[in-house]
């Protein structure tokens, strides 16, 4: 048997072929590289295969006019009325997206398309489609879109996030600065980055990469050497404001959970509710808790309706894993539960008094019980337009209130309440010294004949006393 051609040619020819590939000069038809060593010679075949599934997104967002305090005042409004400033303004948003199925399912960032009134998707071959948002979530910064095309579209396959490792080669494909589709290369430089670079509420859980992610790359693809999607580029952490920073991508497993809910007809992402509060275990806490190193989450609070409490978890327990995957921060646990999905049970590994154990916890949405009993104050009331809600687990989750919050929450402040210091999200604890637990109580106390009102409210970790005349 004759030896392979590669062994029979001279070393000079070998170096010549390598040089041609490094310079990007055309050779014969190039197969998709099968190893990292081959990939270092050229990304051309990989980009040709993956780029058609990465799209440019142009979104129009209507913004409400900004009104000054004097314009909002009934007396001064006529003096400061500006017919031009009162018209809604159009803002254009530029970003990227990734086609995930031949029938036109597209994923992008929520901050690119979430508030858009018109979304235009432009493919790599310059075809354009109007898209609609099927499902979006600001906390996860993900949105699922749908476009209708006459023929099947190119798409990227999702890679299981647990198989991604630090050090892998990765390409970021997107539309930075609106100059057209661009490819940058790097490696996966970190995993399980919680809250870093997200900036939306600390709920993020990211893959970290050193591939440059510039403005406009948001919503684009982070792919591996096989052309599979490992994440959706979402942000960059940089001190200079340029691309010389650390990039973050949302893992493909969470994207898959979003697609599943969108296909099921959901319009808002259903995230399982834990009903617990806790903090990461650091090195000072590890030894007293029976751990040989820092890790896990120590439970400091349990809501009465928490499924973890129903399963037997107690305050002081340390959660160390969800479905076999270690968790070290609350954001990691939220991510693991979100990937697992509503309606199933997750296996929770925990530590109690130095002894380990496991339990099955049902993954449920935050209960919307007791009823919210929303009350909207009429135009003739003391605070017209004020909307109050009874507090339950669903309200706590939606408004990001502390787990133990009780009382009545301000769902909407209306036009006059902000002038006396009341904001949306404030929790009303008492009115004129009377503790309140229901919106109707607040209504009766405000509509009483007293000329002066004292209201005790909770705002974050501060307790405020407001006094005003009616």
What the block records as the tokens of 330 is 């609350």
Give Cβ neighbours of residue 33 (< 8 Å, ≥ 6 apart).
39, 41, 42, 45, 46, 225
Cα distance between residue 36 and residue 61, in whole Å? 42
438 noted as active-site residue: no
* Active-site pick, 93, 96, 108, 111: 111
Question: Among 307, 311, 286, which residue's Cα sits nearest to residue 298?
Answer: 286
Which residue has tokens 């697609």? 259
* Spatial contact of 210 and 187, defined as CB atoms under 8 Å apart: yes
> Residue 271: exposed, middle, or buried by beta-carbon count in 10 A (0-12, 13-18, 19+)?
buried
Q: Is 141 marked active-site?
A: yes
Q: d(Cα 147, Cα 127) in Å, to the nearest integer? A: 12
Q: Which of 93, 161, 218, 397 is catalytic?
A: 218
Kindly name the residue from 141, 210, 253, 317 that is annotated as catalytic.
Answer: 141
Does residue 448 carry a catalytic annotation? no
Report the alpha-carbon distance of residue 111 to residue 175 in Å, rounded: 15
As a whole number of angstroms, the distance between CA 273 and CA 334 comes to 8
Q: Write out the catalytic residue numbers.
A: 111, 141, 218
């Amino acid at each position: 048997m004759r030896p392979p051609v590669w062994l029979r040619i001279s070393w000079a020819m070998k170096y010549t072929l390598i040089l041609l590939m490094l310079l990007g000069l055309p050779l014969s038809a190039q197969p998709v590289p099968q190893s990292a060593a081959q990939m270092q010679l050229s990304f051309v075949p990989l980009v040709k295969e993956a780029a058609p599934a990465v799209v440019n997104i142009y979104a129009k967002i209507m913004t409400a006019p900004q009104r000054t305090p004097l314009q909002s005042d009934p007396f001064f409004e006529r003096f400061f009325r500006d017919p031009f400033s009162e018209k809604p303004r159009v803002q254009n948003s530029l970003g990227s997206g990734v086609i995930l199925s031949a029938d036109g399912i597209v994923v992008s960032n929520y901050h690119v398309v979430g508030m858009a009134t018109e979304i235009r998707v432009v493919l790599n071959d310059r075809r354009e489609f109007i898209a609609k948002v099927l499902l979006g979530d600001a906390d996860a910064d993900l949105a699922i879109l749908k476009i209708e095309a006459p023929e099947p579209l190119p798409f990227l396959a999702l890679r299981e996030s647990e198989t991604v490792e630090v050090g892998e080669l990765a390409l970021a494909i997107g539309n930075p600065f609106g100059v057209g589709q661009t490819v940058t290369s790097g490696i996966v430089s970190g995993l399980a980055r919680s809250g870093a670079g997200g900036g939306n509420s600390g709920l993020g859980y990211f893959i970290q990469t050193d591939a440059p992610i510039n403005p406009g790359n948001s919503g684009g693809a982070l792919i591996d050497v096989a052309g599979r999607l490992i994440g959706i580029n979402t942000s960059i952490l940089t001190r200079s404001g340029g691309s010389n920073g650390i990039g973050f991508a949302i893992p493909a497993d969470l994207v898959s959970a979003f697609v599943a809910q969108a296909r099921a007809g959901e319009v808002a992402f259903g995230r399982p509710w834990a009903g617990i509060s806790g903090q990461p275990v650091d090195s000072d806490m590890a030894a007293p808790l029976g751990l040989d190193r820092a890790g896990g989450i120590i439970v400091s609070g349990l809501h009465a309706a928490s499924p973890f409490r129903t399963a037997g978890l107690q305050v002081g327990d340390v959660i160390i894993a969800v479905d076999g995957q270690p968790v070290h921060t609350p954001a990691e646990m939220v991510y693991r539960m979100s990937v697992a999905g509503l309606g199933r049970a997750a296996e929770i590994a925990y530590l109690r008094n130095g002894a380990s154990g496991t339990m099955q916890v049902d993954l449920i949405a935050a209960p919307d019980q007791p009823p919210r009993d929303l009350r909207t104050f009429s135009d003739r009331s003391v605070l017209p337009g004020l909307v109050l809600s009874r507090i339950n687990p669903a309200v706590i989750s939606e408004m990001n209130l502390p787990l133990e919050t009780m009382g009545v929450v301000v769902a909407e402040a209306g036009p006059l309440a902000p002038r006396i210091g009341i904001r949306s999200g404030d929790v009303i604890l008492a009115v004129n010294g009377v503790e309140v637990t229901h919106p109707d109580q607040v209504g009766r106390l405000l509509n009483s004949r007293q000329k002066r009102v004292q209201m005790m409210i909770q705002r974050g970790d501060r307790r405020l006393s407001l006094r005003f005349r009616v």
